[in-house]
Every structure is written in structure tokens, then in C-alpha cells.
Amino acid sequence: MPTWFERIIKIIFFKKCNYLMSVVIKSEHLSKKYIISHQQREKYVTLRDVIAKKAKSFFQSQGQLNNASPHHIAKREEFWALNDISFKIDQGDRVGIIGRNGAGKSTLLKVLSRITEPTKGKIQIKGRISCLLEVGTGFHPELTGRENIYLNGAILGMHRAEIKRKFDEIVDFSGVEKFLDTPVKRYSSGMYVRLAFAVAAHLESEILIVDEVLAVGDAEFQRKCLGKMQDVSQQEGRTVLFVSHNMQAITNLCSRVILLNKGTIIQDDAPSKVIRDYVMFETSNDGSVFWEENSAPGDATIKLLAIRILDEKNNIQNHFFSKSKIRIQFDLHINEVNDDLVIGFDITDEEGVVILRTYHNDSKQEEWPALKKGNNIIYCEIPGEFLNVGTYYISPKISLHCKKWILNADPLLSFDVELNHGVSPFWNVLNKTNRPGSLALIIPWKNQTEIFN
């Protein structure tokens, strides 16, 4: 009898497991093509141009046959943002998607969330899917917090009854209950983001797609968001797809990471492995990166033209002794000086853990480097006798303070540090295995016993 019973239980349990582990997203040979037209400067086609072009080609074909402007075709360039992507995602998976800017991460999310259509291939999705490519989509600055919760909920596909039911929970999570009846244009950017994320976090979809929403908000709120996403996937068995440049967040949250490059999947494995490879192979290790002006990262107001790692003699260097200072220098082209502009970088270790972030206006106001229109070269110095032995990575960050990211890049270049400071025989033989940690500050110790006696 008990064996029978056990068997039945096992079968039921196994079946249930099977069901739980079922594939929820299956992508087959997914591709997305964009046509980049070099012909026109404007972002959009105008009817005037189309008519003019048609007329031109009409007259041309009247005059000379077969001269239907061959250069016209040559200037249109195909660009495969996604190229033959196939993967399967099981229920309850927390999948991180990483890759350089332009690797196709956002395009993949857009195709998955049905915002844009693939050019080739097929995706099968089981369950309701909701995507947060941006928090607060559709928020209207004139409307109050309460009104925006309803509006945003509806945009994200929630029903009125559902929003009503979760209203208190949403307000509670966001922590803005005092300002519910204030127009959101009067909110601080932190409050705005908190409210927006709170709505999104209470969606009841089986699959949640998240793009970099955690890049804003204060540290405590970021932790709260990460925690919420972990709850969502672990306790409720929902699937999360998460795109981020924050390797630490990816490591903490994801059970699996997909690395994209130029529209194809390079790796699909455990987070620690993929992140390590990504950080190692994808960075420049010759101590500098340069961009052409038209391909430089940034936006219309500011472009990053180069990053250099320099030694004390101003030579580009990627290998340092710990005694010496390390100078990180940015070449920028600024078209529009904005008081909110914040320029800086993260230093991360091999695991993708951020050791520090520094911005050009962290110090006293008198000490900020003045930014002017045109080319600017700004630098900072990482002090000597500070970093432990190891390889470190620089990820440039440029933003309008608390408003938006202009550049939020992954590690772009790396440098090594070898230890040569410290005179103590106990310190001298250091390597990372016998002295863990990224920092190698020598901190003096004292004995205070006598004072107490």
C-alpha cells in the first residue's frame, strides 16, 4: 500500500515539476533587419522628398534608360540588429541579457514584447507577457500620482479592478502616499521612479521583461526593486528577463545569462562564467579607447571621444604598480553645457563587482573642472597605495543627474595592478589569495591597553 501511494505521489509530483519547468519562451532563428539610409540627414521620410525622388527618377528614366540611380541603392545599408537568435527559456528562469551598446539587447526585448516585428524567425510565448522597457511609460506630468497609477496600469495591460485591488500595495511599495494627489511634475525624480516601478512591479503577468530600470533611484530603492524581482521569480514562479549593464545586479538576480554581440548569441551559461568572459574579452587592454566623432557614444549634447589610462609621465599604460597614481582621462566634445551633467566612471573587479564610482563633481564646487562648449579633456587620479593586485575595469558613465543616462556603458577598458607598496615583511609577499579584497590600504594599528589600565 505505501509503495503504491508513494508511486502516485511521485507521478503527480513529477508531472507537476514537469509542468513547472515547461518552456515559456521559445525563439527560433529570430532576426531583425533595419535599413539605415545614409542618404538623408533627417530622421524621418518626408512626403516632399518622396515626391521629389519619384519625379527625379521618372525624368531620369525618361532621359537615360537603366540609370535608375545605382548610387541610390548603394547608400541604403542593411543592418541586422538581431541575427539568427534561438533560445529557450523555462518557467521561473531569471535570465540576464548582457552585451555592448548596439549588441541587440533592446531590439530583442522589443521583438519579444511585440513592440516591433521580427524580419525572420518565430517566437512562441506561453502566458501573459509584460515589459518594462522604461518605467513610467505614459505618465503624464500634469496628472496626480493617483491618476497616473491608473493610467500607467492600464497602459501596462492591467484592468481597473486589478489596479484598484492592488492600489494600496502599490502606494505602500512606492512610499509616496503623502503626495498621491500632487501632480507628478512636482515629484522629485526619485519619487517619480519609485511610483513608476511600484506600478510595474505589481503586474500579474507570467513573464516580466525588464530593461535597465534599476539604473535610476537611490541604492536602497534599487535593492528593494531587486528584491521584488527575486520574489516575483522565486516565490511566484514567474519568469524574468533582465537587461542591464549592472553586472552586480545581474549576478545577484539571474540564474542564467545570455551574452549578445552584434545581434548573435555568443554565450548562454551561468552568470559568473559569462560575466567573467564578457568582461575579459570585451575590453580593451591597451590602456585607451578612441571613437570617431560620428560613432562616439553619447547624445546630441555630449560625446565621449576617448578614454585613456595614463601613468604619472602621461604615457598610455595598462600595467601599474600599486605605488603609483593612475590617471583616467576623458576626451569629450560638449555641444551644450548643462549644469546637471555628471561625468564619471565605475571601477569594477574581475567579478563585475563595483569597487567605486566617481564623478567629476563629487568634490567641493570650487574644485570641479569647468566644462565648456567644444572639446574638453578632463581627468582624475586614482591614488597610489590603494588598489590590491588584480585586473580592474573602467565603465564610463555620463548622465544628467537623476534625470537620464546619456552613457551607461559596460567595462570598456582594463588595467592590471601589481603590488609594490608596503614595507612590512607580513605585507610584502601579498597576492590576492592570501590577502583578499580589492583594496590594499595599509591601515595602522595601535595598542591602547595602557590608557585603560
Partner 1 sequence: MVIEASRSNKNYWSDLWKYRELFFFLAWRDILVRYKQTVIGLAWSLIRPFLTMIIFTIIFGRLANLPSGGMPYAIMVYAGMLPWQFFSTSFNDSSNSLITNSNMLTKIYFPRMIVPASTVIVNFIDFLISFALFIGLMLWYHYVPSWTILTLPLFFVWVVLISMGTGFYVAAVNVKYRDFKYIVPFVVQFGLYISPVGFSSNVIPDKWRLLYSANPIASIIDGFRWAITGDTHFIYLPGLFLSMVITLLFLLFGTLYFRRMERVFADLV
How far is 416 from 438, CA to CA, in rounded Å?
12
Q: Please say which residue, 113 or 324, places its beta carbon nearer to partner 1.
A: 113
**Site for partner 1 contains 150 (CB under 8 A):** yes
Tell me the window of 72-80, 127-135, 398-406, 424-432 that interacts with partner 1 (CB under 8 A): 127-135
Q: Please say which residue, 157 or 175, places its beta carbon nearer to partner 1.
A: 157
How far is 50 from 355, CA to CA, in rounded Å?
53
Q: Which of 118, 271, 297, 396 binds partner 1 (CB under 8 A)?
A: 118
**Site for partner 1 contains 114 (CB under 8 A):** yes
Minimum Å distance from CB 45 to partner 1?
6
**Site for partner 1 contains 151 (CB under 8 A):** yes
Q: Please say which residue, 186 or 373, places its beta carbon nearer to partner 1.
A: 186
Q: Please say which residue, 52 or 270, places its beta carbon nearer to partner 1.
A: 52
**Site for partner 1 contains 442 (CB under 8 A):** no
How far is 379 from 354, CA to CA, in rounded Å?
20
Q: Please say which residue, 47 or 370, places its beta carbon nearer to partner 1.
A: 47
Instruction: Report the amino acid identity of residue 256.
Output: R
Q: Please say which residue, 40 or 61, places its beta carbon nearer to partner 1.
A: 40
Minimum Å distance from CB 85 to partner 1?
13
Q: Which of 116, 188, 315, 431 binds partner 1 (CB under 8 A)?
A: 116
Q: Are strands 374-382 and 404-408 parallel, antiparallel or unpaired?
A: unpaired
Report phi then psi at 52, rounded to 5.
-60, -45
Q: Which of 57, 60, 86, 119 binds partner 1 (CB under 8 A)?
A: 119
Sign of the C-alpha dihedral computed for residues 137, 140, 146 and 151 taken in this order = negative
**Site for partner 1 contains 142 (CB under 8 A):** yes
Q: Please say which residue, 211 or 349, places its beta carbon nearer to partner 1.
A: 211
How far is 170 from 52, CA to CA, in rounded Å?
53
Binding mask of the shown chain, residues 167 to 196, with x at each position contacting partner 1 by CB under 8 A:
----------------x-------------
Tell me the window of 135-143, 172-180, 410-418, 428-436 that interacts with partner 1 (CB under 8 A): 135-143
How far is 54 from 72, CA to CA, in rounded Å?
12
**Site for partner 1 contains 123 (CB under 8 A):** yes
Binding mask of the shown chain, residues 38 to 67, with x at each position contacting partner 1 by CB under 8 A:
------xxxxx-x-----------------
Supply the DSSP symbol for 113. Answer: T
How far is 412 from 269, CA to CA, in rounded Å?
22
For 215, counting Cβ atoms within 10 Å of its Cβ (0-12 exposed, 13-18 middle, 19+ buried), the class is middle
Q: Please say which residue, 117 or 293, places its beta carbon nearer to partner 1.
A: 117
Q: Could you tell me which residues come within 8 angstroms of residue 147 by beta carbon, excluding any fewer than 6 positions away?
A: 140
Q: What is the DSSP string of 174-212?
A: HT-GGGTTSBGGGS-HHHHHHHHHHHHHT---SEEEEES
**Site for partner 1 contains 22 (CB under 8 A):** no
**Site for partner 1 contains 23 (CB under 8 A):** no
In what order do the strands lie in the sheet containing 302-310?
Answer: 288-290, 302-310, 326-334, 374-382
Q: Which of 80, 100, 74 is nearest to 31 (CA)?
A: 80
**Site for partner 1 contains 164 (CB under 8 A):** no
Assigned C-alpha cell, 40: 538623408
**Site for partner 1 contains 94 (CB under 8 A):** no
**Site for partner 1 contains 215 (CB under 8 A):** no
Q: How many residues bind partner 1, per CB under 8 A?
A: 43
Report phi then psi at 210, rounded to 5.
-130, 130
Q: Please say which residue, 107 or 348, places its beta carbon nearer to partner 1.
A: 107
The interaxial angle of helices 160-174 and 145-155, nearest 10 deg, is 130
Residue pair 426/411 in contact (Cβ under 8 Å)? The answer is no
Q: Which of 15, 159, 323, 404 binds partner 1 (CB under 8 A)?
A: 159
Residues that bind partner 1 in the complex, under the rule CB under 8 A: 34, 44-48, 50, 110-126, 129, 131, 133-134, 137-138, 140, 142-143, 147, 150-151, 154-157, 159-160, 183
